[in-house]
Structure 1
Amino acid sequence: MKDNTPTPSGRLDPRLDPAANPALDPAEDTDEPAFDWMKPAPAARAAEEEGAAGPAASQPESRADRKAAEAAAAEGAGSDPAPAGRDAAAGRDAATDRDAATDRTTKFRQPSPAGSSAMGTRFSEPKPFSEPRPFSEPLPTSALQVRPPQEEVERRNAEREQAARAKPVLPRFLQVLLAIFYPVILLVLAVRAVTSPLFLWVEYHRPGFPGDGYGFNADDRMTYGSYAVDYLSNWSGPRYLGELVNRSGEKLFKDGEVSHMADVKLVFLSAFGGGALLILISIIAIIHLRRRTPGGVRRGLFAGSIVTLVLIIGLGTLAALGWQQFFTEFHRIFFAAGSWTFALEDTLIRLFPGQFWIDAGLVIAALVLITAVVTLILTWPTRRRRGLAPARKGRKGADGEGDAEGSDVKDDSGTDEAPRTGSVRPVNL
């Protein structure tokens, strides 16, 4: 028989009463994690939840009642409606902000669903909002902060020292060219100075110069000799000398003499052209050395002056020991055999006797020697020209030996030499 008697309103249904049915008591069910939120919270957590729910519990009235009360207060303030309206609006805004904060707090503090409770989560905490960091590329110098291995560091240091000690090839090559070209240029310029009307005038009018036994006076020699000298430096053909006649109307120069003068002209023009080319190359080398290698021009000219002195002293010694042999061998180098020998009555021998060539050789040697000596003096590698500080004399002490002050010097490469006291000072390369 079933009991269908209704349960009084003041009584609790025995089927739902935890006291009558212990199985419904959540406090006794410790094995079901889904009902953890129904258990009484500890004191600390209860205080936290109570503090979080404080703002919402402190509002006894609903939002509609609060807005109605604020509107009534605004209508009752009739003395100053504008400030009252502003105060009411400010109050409504503050209340709205407070309600929004309360709603957010309540929303985040609400119990999570049963599924989340089963996972062991009591409340769903809001995640803190963080702005995305802007993308930034690594700095170009970030790789410099990474130190390479020690072997790589040593290899780079060795290459750096080798590059610092290595001397460039081009400046050295240009200095060698300058030293070789310098004596040749001086010799060509000295020959050009001798083959001039000025030297002819000095020779024909100087005391002791042998006269012509066949009738040429000084004016005749100067006139005819100037034609021969001019022919060596102009661009005229053999007719320039072949059509000249003397006072009696005969040809001044024979065909053999004209042919030899044509050969001499070819040698002279080749020498002058080569000398001009060497001068141009030397000027380019000097400009390059002045811009790139300080002291390179001085070293090249210094070496060239030494080479010139050695060369001119050697040739002068050979000429002094046997002038006739020296003159013959010189002609054999540049001219064919038999094309440069003439009789004493021929015009070339009468205009340019043997004494003329001796004087010409002496003048050429003197000009080259003086220029080389002056160049040697001007380019002598003194400390000032090398850019070094002048050496200071050490003060003598009681034992008679100079102290080490001012004894440190530098060599041509700019590195410090060891002090003279015997101690070695480290050099920073």
Structure 2
Amino acid sequence: MRERIWQALTFLVVLVLPLAIALTAVRLLLSPLFLHIEYRMPYFPRDPYGFTQQERLYWAEKARSFLLNSENIDFLARLHFPDGRPVFDQRELRHMVDVKRVVQGALLVWYATLAFLLGAAVAFWQRQRWAQFRRAVHRGAWLTIYAMAGLLVVVLLAFGPFFVFFHRLFFEGDTWLFPYSATLIRLFPERFWVDAFAVAAVVSAVIGFVLAWWGHREPRQEPDERP
């Protein structure tokens, strides 16, 4: 019975690790660095309605900050252009509330996966099953690599259908659809999202390769399965 518990815990580590890695990549994308790099890429499309690069960065940073802070929607609702027009209309504001809910939920899941993996690592170490934990990490890392390779192929070959599926999975109806003149589309055109998903996949795969190497390399006199 005790051995089955350890086998189940090993299986959970394999399954949870890819989620933890993917959400780590997402959290990195939510940093200001990605915005600054992405908007400065030579192929990034200009805004046909007149935003300069600096204006895009300024308003996009406001949107990014809202997703991570504890403010309500008034944080965005009180933003106005110099001519007095609101930066985001009511439909965009409602969508940003939904996006914040999804992001905050994802971050909670991220914290939970990290806590689980840390707890599992401590348990395996204390029970002198560290090599078993490393093997689980190795398998979970390769599962991550395969999953991210598949995601990258989908993003590069069929981004449109994938993007629709993604939004229908997390948002109701057509609340995520906006005209090209909407501020959210001007700040975050399709190119932005193609790159975001591609970078998330690549970053996750890189982390996966590092952990796969760590889990596979020869340990130095590490104890293995003990009761």
Q: TM-score, normalised by structure 2?
A: 0.93
**Equivalent position amino acid for 1:321 in 2:** L
Aligned mate of 2:177, from 341, 348, 367 = 341
Please report how far the alpha carbon of residue 167 of structure 1 lies from its aligned counterpart in structure 2 after TM superposition: 6.8
How far apart, CA to CA, are the structure 2 residues paired with 1:259 and 1:320?
30
For 1:354, the equivalent position in structure 2 comes to: 190
For 2:219, the equivalent position in structure 1 comes to: 385
For 2:73, the equivalent position in structure 1 comes to: 238
With a CA cutoff of 8 Å and minimum separation of 6, indicate the structure with the bigger relative contact order.
2
Please report how far the alpha carbon of residue 247 of structure 1 lies from its aligned counterpart in structure 2 after TM superposition: 1.4
Q: Map 1:55-204 onto structure 2 (within 5 A).
A: 168-204=3-39
Q: Map 1:306-321 onto structure 2 (within 5 A).
A: 306-321=142-157
Identity of aligned residues (%): 31
How far apart, CA to CA, are the structure 2 residues paired with 1:185 and 1:295?
20
How far apart, CA to CA, are the structure 2 residues paired with 1:336 and 1:181?
27
Aligned mate of 2:160, from 324, 331, 336 = 324
Higher helix share: 2
The alignment yields a C-alpha RMSD, in angstroms, of 1.9
Bigger radius of gyration = 1
Q: TM-score, normalised by structure 1?
A: 0.50
Contact between 2:179 and 2:185, CA under 8 Å: does it hold in 1? yes
Unaligned runs of 5+ in 1: 1-165, 389-411, 415-429
For 1:370, the equivalent position in structure 2 comes to: 206
**SS at the partner of 1:209?**
coil
Contact between 2:131 and 2:225, CA under 8 Å: does it hold in 1? no
Unaligned runs of 5+ in 2: none
Please report how far the alpha carbon of residue 386 of structure 1 lies from its aligned counterpart in structure 2 after TM superposition: 8.4
**SS at the partner of 1:168?**
helix
Q: 1:196 to 1:413 in 2, by over 3 A?
A: closer
Q: Map 1:210-289 onto structure 2 (within 5 A).
A: 210-289=45-124
**Equivalent position amino acid for 2:39 in 1:** Y
Please report how far the alpha carbon of residue 315 of structure 1 lies from its aligned counterpart in structure 2 after TM superposition: 2.0
How far apart, CA to CA, are the structure 2 residues paired with 1:289 and 1:170?
12
Please report how far the alpha carbon of residue 310 of structure 1 lies from its aligned counterpart in structure 2 after TM superposition: 2.0
How far apart, CA to CA, are the structure 1 residues paired with 2:182 and 2:200?
26
How far apart, CA to CA, are the structure 2 residues paired with 1:413 and 1:331?
44
**Equivalent position amino acid for 1:342 in 2:** F
Contact between 1:290 and 1:296, CA under 8 Å: does it hold in 2? no
Contact between 1:171 and 1:296, CA under 8 Å: does it hold in 2? no
**Equivalent position amino acid for 1:354 in 2:** E
1:254-273 CA-to-partner distances (Å, cap 9, x unmatched) read 00000001100000000000
Aligned residue-pair number:
224
Please report how far the alpha carbon of residue 172 of structure 1 lies from its aligned counterpart in structure 2 after TM superposition: 1.8
How far apart, CA to CA, are the structure 2 residues paired with 1:171 and 1:283?
15
Q: Map 1:28-67 onto structure 2 (within 5 A).
A: none
Aligned mate of 2:132, from 296, 318, 341 = 296
**SS at the partner of 2:178?**
coil
Contact between 1:214 and 1:345, CA under 8 Å: does it hold in 2? yes
**Equivalent position amino acid for 1:385 in 2:** P
**Equivalent position amino acid for 2:83 in 1:** S
Please report how far the alpha carbon of residue 387 of structure 1 lies from its aligned counterpart in structure 2 after TM superposition: 5.4
Please report how far the alpha carbon of residue 362 of structure 1 lies from its aligned counterpart in structure 2 after TM superposition: 1.2
Please report how far the alpha carbon of residue 171 of structure 1 lies from its aligned counterpart in structure 2 after TM superposition: 2.2
Q: 1:175 to 1:252 in 2, by over 3 A?
A: same
How far apart, CA to CA, are the structure 1 residues paired with 2:225 and 2:63?
54
**Equivalent position amino acid for 2:155 in 1:** A
1:69-114 CA-to-partner distances (Å, cap 9, x unmatched) read xxxxxxxxxxxxxxxxxxxxxxxxxxxxxxxxxxxxxxxxxxxxxx
